[in-house]
Chains A and B, each alone.
Chain A
Amino acid sequence: MKKLGIYIHIPFCESKCYYCDFTSGVSNNDVISSYADAIVREINEFDSTGYIVDTIFIGGGTPTSVSSDIIEDIVLAIRKNFVLSLVEFTIEGNPNSYTKQKLDHYIRLGVDRVSVGVQSLNDKVLKAIGRVHTSSDAKLCLQLLMDSGLKVSADMMVGLPYQTLDIVKRDAKMVMDSGIGHVSCYSLILESGTKLASKVANGELVLPSDDDAVDMYDAVMYIAKGYGLNRYETSNFGVPCQHNVGYWKLKEYAGFGVSAHSFNKGVRYYNTNNLQDYITGNKYIIDEKPTLAELASEYMMLSLRLDQGVDIEDFKSKYGDKSYNDMMSIAKGQAEYLHIDNRFISIKPEYSYISNSIIEKFI
């Protein structure tokens, strides 16, 4: 039996954040319920022979913004069509849409990990990026989640308008004071076509410089370490998220829902990112059937984001001597930026925030 991770995309939100360029938006209940039907249909059509599901991740959008009954329908479909042996079942959501009732329902469905998009605990910052919640919503939510006894993760962002190093430090401490076991910290990427991009372009908002954003990130990393949350991947600290680690280790996964990506049975494919098309009978789109050499370079691209780095023996056994020799010679050319020992190749911590320039050499 091969292990499989399942990703469910819930593209609905109470409102769209200004920086967001994902498939997500505001919809009414009829659309939501026919969308759930479409996901259930897609799950049922998946040939699960030979797979055992060990992680589920329900992401979005804002999965907590829809009725938990919708989530139940989807989970029941998964349970019906797949063999499960879960080590982790995560749902993510917003500070103002987690409720005690929903949490109890999620727990009954088997959820054991909750992730919350805090981003910042500064109201001026939150407003500038179009978040619908306030900092006190977030603090109350963190309390609620911690009290549930589930594993809790919080997303934070740096490089946001009005953010200063002091604000970020204060926010990070407040988040970690809750006793949380996992934090993700992302640096804002200004995507073209977003509301934030136009506000920056017309001068309405100013972003901190890249250097300042890196200082903020470094501060979060330093503070996290003080709370025992060690970095294990470029943007992640604490007890590793098994589902995401699956992506980084090229484990097979099946994504259900609009714009979801999948990699299983040797094929990468993805669903349409048009919600109506998806509901009326989506045909997935084949992306590529990666060759062994391509898989080897993807393995490098993904593993080098992990602090542990590339497991040399694992790499060699999966991709053979030629790929191994090629990889080692590139690695030696980059020795200045890498830590290489008998078992692992990893990017030196001081270069982790410019990892792309190192990783690109391997692809």
Chain B
Amino acid sequence: MSNRQDNIRNFCIVAHIDHGKSTLADRIMEFTETVSKRDSKEQLLDSMDIERERGITIKLTPVTMKYHYKGEDYFLNLIDTPGHVDFTYEVSRSLAACEGAILIVDASQGIEAQTLTNAYLAVDNDLEILPVINKIDLPSARPDEIKLEIEDIIGLDTTGIPLISAKEGTNIEQVIHQVIDLLPPPSGDESKPLKALIFDSVYDSYKGAISLIRVVDGNIKIGTKIKFMQTDKTYDVTEVGIFNPKMIPCEELKAGDVGYVCASIKNVADTKVGDTITLAIGGTTESLPGYKEVSPMVYSGIYPADGARYGDLKDALERLKLNDASLMYENEVSVALGFGFRCGFLGLLHMEIIQERLEREFDLDIVTTAPSVSYNVIKTDGNMLVVANPSNLPSAGEIEYMEEPIVKASLFSPPEYVGTIMDLCQDKRGVFLDITYLDQRRVRIDYEIPLNEVIYDFFDTLKSRTKGYASFDYEIIGYQRSALVKLDLLLNAEICDALSLIVHRDKAYARGRIIAEKLKEVIPRQMFEIPIQASIGSKVIARETVKAMRKDVLAKCYGGDITRKKKLLEKQKEGKKRMRQVGSVSVPSEAFMTILKFDK
């Protein structure tokens, strides 16, 4: 009898956004009869509404599929991966759970920024890569040219490459056969002590935090006493199982298997992605490589629009955190916005997702402050301070200098937008690194750009200026000393802390002016004139004025309808209550959001 691991394939699908990853996953599941076509909602693996709406996958959901081929039963474990730059670490752990990867390239768009990022990640994890060209049903498909791109740019052999249409189900069988024929089986040792990689975790209100694992060596079953090597905590296993794609309990998971483990773990933060599970007694001492503490890259203040709902916001964040260990938050108090939270996110998309989930799933109206990155502040006394909230910046006199995070950005675009893209990068304080003409249709441009510039409107501006043709990816490469200043906004001579920003000195004037202009539009006229000032320290760099209101009378009370009049007044008063008080000035919640948008 052959080694059982020979009949297992652990693989993932990687692709640029919209190149059809989730659709291919669905087709493979249908083809292997893991799900019937009838049950198949579009894109089964994407479990959150937001993901489905945006056509992007964030949460990883593995699935075990049984497939009969050449007289043998094979178990194909498909591990889905998020396609977005915010989740690079999670992607890398998912890849580490696999022996191979299907790399999808769109037959008309060709190689994009994340095609390459993901291909490199797969190579870094020693994965066998199986390229496929998708969307060959499109009239604009140009598979021959794309083959050349794959060979030239990524360096993969394209002989026998499947030309598929995931949408129409064309050549899916060929892909499955290649997975079995070309990808290597796992090669762990069942007799060694347990060693399993956590590549994700989910929260279940009955079972607690559930670890999604790839068993590398040994085995795990109910009753096994396990230890999480990073947290050094031990648990008794209460259930193991596989995904089909729903959770199906099974007797045990052995070397080479992919599945889940429940062990009455209260908190997903205790089941860290990248951690190694071993035996509590007699376990391995050597954890699997690649573990990293995830740290937030982007921060923003989140406050309830109605201060009375602080408790609801707190509960909502706790609930989200149950399932999302990478979400960080801590209490924060703003003079303008009251009680709220400073939240840390992996990136901009992650931030948007959290904000949207708070609003949709928890029915909260929230006010978010401008996103910030974390700065290293080197003080004159030699101490270093990490500041993610502009309000916490020490006074200018105490600061020797500051450092900001820098990213290496790779942009892919048709050649006609090169000038536009370089203008944009230059405008965002970018430093040019390299430009490569990949073929007649694609150029790769590399820049170093401060993250602080990327998080404002870089992505939206890039998309709009290149009509959506350019793609973009980045990685943090370190911190750099920079001439940063704190830009304050004053309303009626009082600083509004929730509007403060840390910006580069050269950008401060333009940004101060734009924000002051926008605030003038959104702050309603009040009983007195309101000066709006942008300042750096005590120096005012921009000024606008909201003129005093002159008229708010209601009509006479016709026929003595006093109740109506009273109700109108009460409504007006209620409306004002919902606004925030900055000193004597009432500021509507949307004012705090205006500084998030910088379209010129």
Tell me the bound Cα distance from A156 to B470 in angstroms: 61
26 A–B pairs (Cβ distance < 8 Å), ordered by A: A7-B560, A22-B558, A214-B550, A234-B553, A235-B556, A244-B556, A255-B559, A261-B563, A270-B561, A288-B563, A298-B562, A298-B566, A301-B566, A302-B557, A351-B527, A353-B550, A353-B553, A354-B551, A354-B552, A356-B552, A356-B553, A356-B554, A356-B569, A356-B572, A360-B572, A363-B566
Tell me the bound Cα distance from A276 to B500 in angstroms: 61
Least CB distance, A18 to chain B, in whole angstroms: 16
Least CB distance, A240 to chain B, in whole angstroms: 13
**B558 — nearest CB in chain A belongs to which residue?**
A22
Tell me the bound Cα distance from A357 to B551 in angstroms: 10
Tell me the bound Cα distance from A302 to B557 in angstroms: 10
A210-B551 contact, Cβ under 8 Å, with A363-B570, A363-B573: yes
Report if A247 contacts B (CB, 8 A).
Answer: yes
Tell me the bound Cα distance from A259 to B559 in angstroms: 9
Residues from chain B with a CB closer than 8 A to the CB of A211 are: 550-551
Which single member of B527, B563, B570 contacts A354 (CB below 8 Å)?
B527
Least CB distance, B78 to chain A, in whole angstroms: 54
CB distance B550 to A355 under 8 Å?
A: no
Residues from chain A with a CB closer than 8 A to the CB of B550 are: 210-211, 214, 353-354
Residues from chain A with a CB closer than 8 A to the CB of B569 are: 301, 356, 359-360, 363
CB distance B551 to A213 under 8 Å?
A: yes
Question: Besides the contacts A187-B551, A213-B551, A255-B559, what 11 more A-B pairs have beta carbons closer than 8 Å?
Answer: A186-B555, A211-B550, A255-B560, A301-B562, A301-B566, A302-B557, A352-B553, A355-B553, A356-B569, A356-B572, A357-B549
Residues from chain A with a CB closer than 8 A to the CB of B563 are: 261, 268, 270, 287-288
A 291-312 to B, binary, CB cutoff 8 A, 1 in contact else 0: 0000001100110000000000
B 563-583 to A, binary, CB cutoff 8 A, 1 in contact else 0: 101100110110010000000
Tell me the bound Cα distance from A301 to B553 in angstroms: 12
CB distance B552 to A355 under 8 Å?
A: yes
Report if A9 contacts B (CB, 8 A).
Answer: yes
**B571 — nearest CB in chain A belongs to which residue?**
A360
Q: Which of B498-557 contact A (CB under 8 A)?
A: 526-527, 549-557
Least CB distance, A242 to chain B, in whole angstroms: 14
Report if A253 contacts B (CB, 8 A).
Answer: yes
Tell me the bound Cα distance from A263 to B563 in angstroms: 10
Tell me the bound Cα distance from A217 to B563 in angstroms: 26
Which single member of A22, A217, A247 contacts B562 (CB below 8 Å)?
A247
**A210 — nearest CB in chain B belongs to which residue?**
B551
**B552 — nearest CB in chain A belongs to which residue?**
A356
CB distance A353 to B551 under 8 Å?
A: yes
Residues from chain A with a CB closer than 8 A to the CB of B561 are: 261, 270
The 10 closest A-B pairs by CB, nearest first: A360-B573, A214-B550, A356-B552, A261-B560, A261-B561, A210-B551, A214-B551, A354-B552, A360-B569, A247-B560
Q: Which of A201-234 contact B (CB under 8 A)?
A: 210-211, 213-214, 217, 234
**B549 — nearest CB in chain A belongs to which residue?**
A354
Q: Inter-chain contact count A-B, CB under 8 Å?
A: 91
Residues from chain B with a CB closer than 8 A to the CB of A358 are: 527
A189-B559 contact, Cβ under 8 Å, with A337-B527, A357-B527: no
Least CB distance, B585 to chain A, in whole angstroms: 13
Least CB distance, A304 to chain B, in whole angstroms: 11
**B556 — nearest CB in chain A belongs to which residue?**
A235
CB distance A357 to B552 under 8 Å?
A: yes
Tell me the bound Cα distance from A89 to B566 in angstroms: 27
Residues from chain A with a CB closer than 8 A to the CB of B558 are: 22, 59
Least CB distance, A262 to chain B, in whole angstroms: 7
Report if A260 contacts B (CB, 8 A).
Answer: yes
Tell me the bound Cα distance from A363 to B566 in angstroms: 8
Residues from chain A with a CB closer than 8 A to the CB of B573 are: 360, 363
Q: Which of A95-109 contact B (CB under 8 A)?
A: none
Tell me the bound Cα distance from A231 to B121 in angstroms: 80
Tell me the bound Cα distance from A270 to B562 in angstroms: 11
**A257 — nearest CB in chain B belongs to which residue?**
B559
Tell me the bound Cα distance from A59 to B570 in angstroms: 27
Q: Which of A59-85 contact B (CB under 8 A)?
A: 59
A 193-205 to B, binary, CB cutoff 8 A, 1 in contact else 0: 0000000000000
Count of chain B residues with Cβ under 8 Å from any Cβ of A?
24
Chain B residues in the interface with A (C-beta under 8 A): 526-527, 549-563, 565-566, 569-570, 572-573, 576
Tell me the bound Cα distance from A217 to B553 in angstroms: 12
CB distance B559 to A9 under 8 Å?
A: yes
Least CB distance, A119 to chain B, in whole angstroms: 14
CB distance B565 to A301 under 8 Å?
A: yes
CB distance A268 to B562 under 8 Å?
A: yes
Least CB distance, B129 to chain A, in whole angstroms: 59
Q: Which of A267-322 contact B (CB under 8 A)?
A: 268, 270, 287-288, 297-298, 301-302
Tell me the bound Cα distance from A352 to B551 in angstroms: 9
Least CB distance, B334 to chain A, in whole angstroms: 25
Least CB distance, B546 to chain A, in whole angstroms: 13
Tell me the bound Cα distance from A9 to B559 in angstroms: 8
**A297 — nearest CB in chain B belongs to which residue?**
B566
**B561 — nearest CB in chain A belongs to which residue?**
A261
A 21-34 to B, binary, CB cutoff 8 A, 1 in contact else 0: 01000000000000
Least CB distance, A193 to chain B, in whole angstroms: 15
Tell me the bound Cα distance from A298 to B560 in angstroms: 12
**A247 — nearest CB in chain B belongs to which residue?**
B560
Residues from chain B with a CB closer than 8 A to the CB of A263 are: 560, 562
Residues from chain B with a CB closer than 8 A to the CB of A217 are: 551
Residues from chain B with a CB closer than 8 A to the CB of A360 are: 569-570, 572-573, 576
Tell me the bound Cα distance from A244 to B527 in angstroms: 28
Which single member of B549, B556, B559 contacts A260 (CB below 8 Å)?
B559
**B555 — nearest CB in chain A belongs to which residue?**
A189
Q: Which of A126-172 contact B (CB under 8 A)?
A: none
Interface centre among A214, A235, A301, A357 (most CB of B within 10 A): A357
Residues from chain A with a CB closer than 8 A to the CB of B570 are: 360, 363
Least CB distance, B559 to chain A, in whole angstroms: 5
Least CB distance, B520 to chain A, in whole angstroms: 15
CB distance A247 to B553 under 8 Å?
A: no
A7-B559 contact, Cβ under 8 Å, with A356-B572, A357-B527, A360-B572: yes
Residues from chain B with a CB closer than 8 A to the CB of A187 are: 551, 553
Residues from chain A with a CB closer than 8 A to the CB of B557 are: 247, 302
Least CB distance, A8 to chain B, in whole angstroms: 9
Tell me the bound Cα distance from A339 to B572 in angstroms: 24
Tell me the bound Cα distance from A288 to B566 in angstroms: 12
**A214 — nearest CB in chain B belongs to which residue?**
B550
Tell me the bound Cα distance from A277 to B23 in angstroms: 61
Least CB distance, A252 to chain B, in whole angstroms: 10
Tell me the bound Cα distance from A25 to B550 in angstroms: 34
A186-B554 contact, Cβ under 8 Å, with A247-B562, A363-B566: no
**A263 — nearest CB in chain B belongs to which residue?**
B560
A59-B559 contact, Cβ under 8 Å, with A189-B554, A214-B551, A356-B572: yes
**A243 — nearest CB in chain B belongs to which residue?**
B560
**A59 — nearest CB in chain B belongs to which residue?**
B559
CB distance A302 to B553 under 8 Å?
A: no
Tell me the bound Cα distance from A189 to B555 in angstroms: 7
Tell me the bound Cα distance from A358 to B554 in angstroms: 13
Tell me the bound Cα distance from A262 to B556 in angstroms: 16
Tell me the bound Cα distance from A210 to B524 in angstroms: 13
**A260 — nearest CB in chain B belongs to which residue?**
B559
Least CB distance, A250 to chain B, in whole angstroms: 8
**A259 — nearest CB in chain B belongs to which residue?**
B559
Tell me the bound Cα distance from A259 to B576 in angstroms: 30
Tell me the bound Cα distance from A158 to B557 in angstroms: 18
Tell me the bound Cα distance from A302 to B569 in angstroms: 12
Residues from chain A with a CB closer than 8 A to the CB of B576 are: 360
**B550 — nearest CB in chain A belongs to which residue?**
A214
Tell me the bound Cα distance from A211 to B570 in angstroms: 24
A 3-17 to B, binary, CB cutoff 8 A, 1 in contact else 0: 000010100000000
Residues from chain B with a CB closer than 8 A to the CB of A270 are: 561, 563
Least CB distance, A42 to chain B, in whole angstroms: 14
